[in-house]
Amino acid sequence: MSIRKTATSGIALALAGSLALTACGSGGDDGGDDGNVTLNFTWWGSDERSERYEAAIDLFEEANPGITVQTSFAEFQDYWTQRSTDATSGELPDVLQMDVSRLLEYSNNGLLYDLTEFEGNGIDTSTIDEGLLESGRTNEQLAAIPTGSNTLALMVNPDLVEELGVELPDWDYTWEEYQDFVVAASEAGADRDPQVYGGGDYTMTWWFFMQYLVQQGVEPFSETGEMNFTEDDMRDFISSADPVREAAGGDAFFPLERGEQLLPKGGFTSGEAPVEFHWDNFISGYSNDLGSDNIQLMPMPTGADGQKHMFFKPTMQLAMGANTAHPEEAAALIDFLINDPEAGQIIGTDLGVPSSQTRLEALEVEEGGLDQRVIEYEQRVRDEGYATATVPFQPEGFGALETEYVEVLSQEFQYGQISVDEFVERWFSEASNLLVTS
């Protein structure tokens, strides 16, 4: 059974289970005679993110001596499998990191605490851009608070590019120019030990398909959850990278087998690929894994109409389990992580460019440092007019659709076990079961 099927079946059972067990509270301590409170807080992310969170939580506990925060974290897919189990038992953490792609799934099942009562009264939302804050509203409730904003970017290792003797395209590069770079870098790195490849197969990443659709003038999903794209759209996107797959003796994209050998690192963070597409806020984790802060950011390639049609999205969100026995204390933790300047100095841009304008203005960044790079990158994307689209709507089931695309079919495709047609046919077949429409 795939991770995707386990997760979705767990959420399907969660509503009844959570309602029955709400009175039990979360896994946190319910206080006791000494009046102390223990909160459970969990997130996904790298070891570096964990270190930042832990340092910020130390400050929170110092400022709130009656509250202890128990923490845990996991890799993205494992995180959601664990949350599915929590939801089924009615034991979601008091505070949990939430992703907009899963928000409707959890909110529609009554699993998240309505934060409306704390808005401006325990959680200061006054300095958060209203458009960003709206990303956490659903079913006339405030289900989550955004930590920051991010946008897609091309991570570049300039040192490795120079070693390979290849030339990066400029900021207005096209997808074809990007493909030419990947092929040239793979050819230049073919004799190195370990071998260097130009980059990974970007068509196997769900969000790059979303970006492709937006560049084609397609809004991927309607607000009622229907797909606005066809099998041909997905087939065309995957097939668009055939020139790279067929170049350099069929050895231009970073091989999946090598990627699995390098886990938990990847090709880029192991210094075996000079570029990689990702969300811009990942630069800190990438720098830590690579052991170098010489990483630069470039925008996404330009679409067929000469525009990039990039978009900003909430990096991630903080939410509360509906079953929490300590909503006031949990709200205080969320407010601290979102708004406190000292916590912000520790977290930097790892959770995105801060959603709180006050905290962003208070952030002291090192000249030329990683945080400054992310902030300046997002500003340049705005100034250059690259961000002309809104983040695609993510209906209930969006996260499961992404898992099917990335965790199941992409692996079979990259191992040569299925064709493009089989990939597309199977994904659309699964989508009919996973997508929730209204």
Structure-block tokens of residue 272: 């075996």
Structure-block tokens of residue 309: 């049609």
- Residue 34 binned pLDDT confidence (cut-offs 50, 70, 90): low
Query: Among the ranges 113-117, 223-227, 391-395, which has the highest mean pLDDT value?
Result: 113-117
Section 16-20 average pLDDT? 36
Q: Say what angle helices 3-21 and 76-89 make with each other, to 10 degrees.
A: 30
**Measured distance CA(148)–CA(161) in Å, rounded:** 31
Q: Which pLDDT belongs to residue 139?
A: 87
Structure-block tokens of residue 157: 């290792």
Q: Which pLDDT belongs to residue 50?
A: 96
User: Model pTM?
Assistant: 0.88
HSE (CB half, 13 Å, CA atoms) of 349? 27
- Residue 423 binned pLDDT confidence (cut-offs 50, 70, 90): very high
Q: What percent of the chain has pLDDT over 70?
A: 92
pLDDT for 355-382, tens place per residue? 999 999 999 999 999 999 999 999 999 9
Length of the chain: 438
Closest by CA position to 292, among listed 315, 269, 266, 317: 269
Residue 18 has pLDDT above 50, yes or no: no
Section 178-202 average pLDDT? 97
- Residue 249 binned pLDDT confidence (cut-offs 50, 70, 90): confident
* Burial of 85 from C-beta contacts in 10 A (0-12 / 13-18 / 19+): middle
* Burial of 238 from C-beta contacts in 10 A (0-12 / 13-18 / 19+): buried
Q: Which pLDDT belongs to residue 194?
A: 96
Q: Calculate the alpha carbon distances from 15 to 155, 340, 396, 399 in Å.
A: 40, 34, 14, 18
**3-state SS of 252-273?**
CECCHHHHHHHCCCCCCCCCCC
pLDDT for 151-172, tens place per residue? 999 999 999 999 999 999 999 9
Average pLDDT, the chain: 91
pLDDT for 304-350, tens place per residue? 999 999 999 999 999 999 999 999 999 999 999 999 999 999 999 99
